[in-house]
Amino acid sequence: TPAERIRNFCIIAHIDHGKSTLADRMLQLTGSVEDRVMRAQYLDKMDLERERGITIKSQAVRMPWHVNEEDFILNMIDTPGHVDFSYEVSRSLAACEGAVLLVDAAQGIEAQTLANLYLAIENDLEIIPVLNKIDLPAADPERYAEEIAGLIGGDPEDVLRVSGKTGMGVEALLDRIVDRIPAPKGDRDASARAMIFDSVYDTYRGVVTYVRVVDGEIRAGEKIQMISTGANHELLELGVSSPEPKKAKGLAVGEVGYLITGVKDVRQSKVGDTVTNATKPATEGLPGYVEPKPMVFSGLYPIEAGDYTDLREALDKLKLEDAALNYEPETSVALGFGFRVGFLGLLHLEIITERLSREFDLDIITTAPSVTYDAVTEDGVTHHVTNPSEFPEGKISEVREPIVRASILVPKEYIGKVMELCESRRGSLISMEYLSEERVELRYTLPLGEIVFDFFDQLKSRTQGYASLDYEPIGDQADDLVKVDILLQGEKVDAFSAIVHRDSAYSYGTMMAERLRKLIPRQQFEVPIQAAIGARIIARETIRAIRKDVLAKCYGGDISRKRKLLEKQKEGKKRMKMVGRVEVPQKAFIAALSGD
Ligand code: GDP
Ligand code: MG
């Protein structure tokens, strides 16, 4: 298809504003999916995605559309809808010339929409504003059309009104996509340059790489090259998703399709990388490529020590399909053998732990999520700390932590509460802007370490669920950060060490010491629980001693009962961890870590 007849677009929407439903209607109206095989949310393939109604992996689909006596090809590129995957969002946007800004006509704009809209504007995309769900009795299109026009300019009357559910207005939207979104531009005669905007692992086909061709052409059967690594691959198959995979002879300027090279690991075909012809390679990659960088780290431990090998195998498998997942073995006094795992964010962490339990049937415990700190020791050496227990000892001249720019949208009555929360989390206000008479966007810089620590839950509860949050990393900053250790009878319990601001050290220390006092059973001797910064004790709790002699109770009783008791004790011991002389049931550690 000549580039003049191609339109590449994505849909920007907040979760639940109806992106998947609208995509379904487009598939039907363009005849891409027959009515008899149509099912709701046709493109959301992963079970987890369906259940939680979130899109984790983006997808591309090619649809024909006939308007003004001409045939066009519309490529719809689905973007993941969560902050954790903002890099993937930015790459999918970079593959398009336009974006449909889809807003629920009963809800208005949310932080996620806004963050992605800013990204789209930065990428120079043509924005088509659309209000969805106009069939709802609660829909207030007039009001939200004003809000949108206020934000992106233009006439409120120009905002399209549709219902993905009933199909109303969807044809007009397809026509407008053809009309308003520019055709792709590129150099047909240059060496091929195609951007990878998604890379998906498929058990049967290996890694399926989705690309958008910018210059030149990729032809079936030729060899291709990845620009970031210079690695050459055989091209086993090339095609388009319409939406089922369909082989093609080539992909030319502006086209969107998939490549299969037989590689087994998504790391060999990374989002953001440029694909070129191996025989006549382009010298320069397309702009914007970055290595996926884990932002949040947590220790993952099997609850049954015997599951360690299974856990490693499961992580190895997940890694094949997730280039952002990183891990290495680690051991903990409290939890035994496990892994330190790097994630893009909290949702990513949740998705992985949930998949481990569902798909691999593993019971695991995760330590409190932490970010990466750079600790500079007096000798000028920088230590990259992803596990608080590895924080360097001795004098530290500086500690730096990752900072994000957060955007929070709230109804105006909650401004005070949100500001209070952000300030208690070391945030500083950048700006406050009214999107409409009722709704405000607050922009803050905040340490990421404060956000991974129940910020989202706090925000939701303080605003009765009305606030929405989005953030992007903007660099590192130094602050007065210290490591707090928790000691049981003078022995450090590594899984509880945390890096916190000096002002919060005491409250973290007392909270943990108290939790452990309640959870650890009494011993034959008194057990002090202390919180410390270096050698300095900042909080203390005590577990009082008991004289525990279970056998005394059945003195003179029958011998089999005694034996049973002894065996029961032995059984219990297996699940005990020794911290110095103190016996702690693993349950207690797990409960203390999960906060219940
Ligand atoms: P996504 O999270 O943006 O992909 O949203 P979905 O397409 O999954 O839709 C979220 C919810 O809104 C679902 O319960 C849909 O049935 C519902 N929904 C989507 N579009 C419409 C619409 O046009 N009208 C109404 N009444 N409900 C809709
Ligand atoms: Mg969806």
**pLDDT tens, residue by residue, 255-309:** 999 999 988 888 888 889 999 999 999 999 998 888 777 889 999 999 888 999 9
Mean pLDDT of 121-144: 95
Please state the rounded mean pLDDT for residues 571-593.
Answer: 75
Q: What pLDDT score was predicted for residue 214?
A: 97
Ligand 1 close to Cβ of residue 426 (< 6 A): no
Q: How many angstroms separate the CA atoms of 109 and 151, rounded? A: 10
Instruction: Please classify residue 532 by burial: count the beta carbons closer than 10 Å to its beta carbon, then call 0-12 exposed, 13-18 middle and 19+ buried.
Output: buried
Q: How far is the CA of 170 from the centre of ligand 1 (A)?
A: 14
Ligand that comes closest to the CA of residue 40: 1
Q: What's the CA gap between 559 and 300, in Å, rounded?
A: 43
Phi, psi of 47 (to 5 degrees): -55, -45
In the reported structure, the alpha carbon of residue 102 is separated from the centroid of ligand 2 by a whole-number distance in angstroms of 12
Which residues are CB-contacts of 465 (< 8 A; sequence separation ≥ 6)?
none
- Angstrom CA distances, 543 to 191, 582, 585, stand at 72, 11, 15
* Helix (H/G/I), strand (E/B), else coil: 501: strand
| Amino acid letter, 549 | D
Distance CA 89, CA 114 (A): 13
Check whether 133 is labelled as a binding-site residue: yes
pLDDT 10s digits, 492-533: 988 889 999 999 999 999 999 999 999 898 888 999 999 999
Of 190, 195, 243, 216, which Cα lies nearest the Cα of 26? 243
What is the dihedral angle through the alpha carbons of 287, 292, 296, 299, rounded to the nearest 10 degrees? Answer: -170
Are 177 and 76 in contact by the 8 Å Cβ rule? The answer is no
- Which residue type is seen at 243? P
Distance between Cα 466 and ligand 1 center (Å): 19
Judge whether 338 is annotated as a binding position.
no
According to the model, what pLDDT value does residue 53 have? Answer: 45
**pLDDT at residue 568, rounded to an integer:** 60
Is residue 486's pLDDT more than 90? yes
Which pLDDT does position 562 carry in this prediction?
63
Q: Does 387 show up as a binding residue in the annotation? A: no
**Which of the ligands is closest to the CA of residue 139?**
1
**Residue 44 pLDDT class (50, 70, 90 cuts):** low
Would you state the pLDDT for residue 547? Answer: 65
Number of H helices and E strands in the chain, helices first, is 15, 33
Higher pLDDT, 19 or 333: 19
Burial class (CB in 10 A: 0-12, 13-18, 19+), 436: middle
Alpha-carbon dihedral 229, 233, 239, 240, rounded to 10 degrees:
-20
- Measured in Å, residue 181 CA sits from the centre of ligand 2 at 23
Is 202 annotated in some ligand binding site? Answer: no
Q: Which of 138, 134, 136 is nearest to 159 (CA)?
A: 134
Q: Is 20 in the pocket of ligand 1 (CB under 6 A)?
A: yes
Q: Is a pLDDT exceeding 50 seen at residue 218?
A: yes
Instruction: Indicate which residue's Cα is closest to atom 22 of ligand 1.
Output: 133
Residue that wins the pLDDT comparison between 354 and 194 = 194
- With a 6 Å cutoff on the Cβ, whether 415 touches ligand 1 is no
Given a cut of 60, is residue 418 above it in pLDDT? yes
* pLDDT of 592 strictly over 90: no
Burial of 47 per CB tally in 10 Å (0-12, 13-18, 19+): exposed
Q: Which residues pair with 240 in a beta bridge?
A: 246
Please list the alpha-helical segments (H only) found in 213-345: 308-320
Is residue 82 in contact with ligand 1, taking CB distance under 6 Å?
no
52 has pLDDT over 70:
no
Ligand 1 atom closest to 17 (CA): 3
- 430-479 pLDDT, tens digit each: 999 998 888 899 999 999 999 987 788 889 889 888 888 888 889 999 99
What would the mean pLDDT of 79-105 be, rounded to a whole number?
86
Residue 53 CB less than 6 A away from ligand 1 = yes
**pLDDT at position 595:** 63
Residue 178 has, within 13 A of its CA and on its CB side, a CA count of 18
Answer whether 516's CB lies under 8 Å from 588's CB: yes
Distance CA 514, CA 207 (A): 49
Does ligand 1 have an atom closer than 6 angstroms to the CB of 21?
yes
CB-facing half-sphere around the CA of 114: CA atoms within 13 A? 26
Pocket flag, ligand 1, residue 165 (CB < 6 Å): yes
Burial pattern 125-153, b for ≥16 Cβ within 10 A else e, equals bbbbbbbbbbeeeebbbebbbebbbebee
Distances in Å between the Cα of 219 and the Cα atoms of 23, 242, 299, 427, 457 are: 29, 19, 45, 51, 50
Q: Greater confidence, 138 or 205?
A: 138
Q: Which residue's CA is minimally distant from atom 9 of ligand 1? A: 18
Find the mean pLDDT for residues 166-178.
98
Q: What is the distance in A from the centroid of ligand 1 to the CA of 18? A: 4
Is 395 marked as binding a ligand? Answer: no
Quick one: which ligand is closest to 134's CA?
1
Mean pLDDT of 129-143: 97
Q: What percentage of the chain exceeds 70 in pLDDT?
A: 91
Single out the residue of 435, 348, 437, 451 nearest to residue 111, CA to CA.
435
Q: For the chain, what percentages of helix, strand and coil (3-state, to nearest 5) are there?
A: 30, 35, 35
Question: Which of 50, 132, 165, 166 to mutate to test ligand 1, by most ligand atoms within 8 A of the CB atom?
Answer: 165
Q: Which of 396, 392, 399, 394 lies closest to 377 in space, CA to CA?
A: 396
Query: Whose atoms come closest to the Cα of 55: which ligand?
Result: 2
pLDDT at position 571 over 70: no
Element (H, E) at 219: strand 218-219
pTM of the model: 0.77
Sign of CA dihedral 129, 135, 138, 142: positive
Encode 16-32: b = buried (16+ Cβ within 10 Å), e = exposed: ebbbbbbbbbbbbebeb
Q: How many CB atoms sit inside 10 A of residue 85's CB?
A: 25
Better-scored residue on pLDDT, 189 or 350: 189
CA of residue 575 to ligand 2 center, whole Å: 43
More confident residue, 563 or 345: 345
Give the mean pLDDT of 534-563.
73
Given pLDDT bands bounded at 50, 70 and 90, which one contains residue 238?
A: very high
How confident is the model over 381-404, as pLDDT tens digits? 999 999 998 899 888 999 999 999
Q: Which two tokens stand for residue 562?
A: 């005694």
DSSP 221: T
| Tokens matching residue 490 | 């003078």
CA-to-CA distance for 374 and 395, rounded, in angstroms? Answer: 14
Q: Residue 88: what pLDDT?
A: 82
Query: Which pLDDT does position 569 carry in this prediction?
Result: 58
Mean pLDDT of the chain: 88
